[in-house]
Chain A
Amino acid sequence: VQEAVARAARQAKSEDLPTVDLEHLEKVLPQL
Chain B
Amino acid sequence: EHWALTSEEFEVWDRLYRIQDSDGIKNVKLPQVRFESIRDMEEIKESCNENIHELSLTEWRIWQNRPFPTHMVDHSDRCNNFISIMEKIELMRHEEGACTYDSELMTYLHKDDII
Contacts and interface: CB of A to CB of B under 8 A. Distances in A.
Contact of B89 (A3, A5, A22, A30): A22
Given A22-B92, A30-B57, A6 B86 contact: no
Contacts of A29: 61, 82, 85-86
B37 interface: yes
Contacts, number: 34
A25 interface: yes
B29 interface: no
B36 interface: yes
Contacts of A7: 33, 36
Interface residues of A, number: 13
A3 B61 contact: no
B55 to A, nearest CB: 10
A25 B93 CA distance: 11
10 contacts: A3-B38, A22-B92, A26-B61, A27-B58, A27-B61, A30-B57, A30-B58, A30-B64, A31-B33, A31-B57
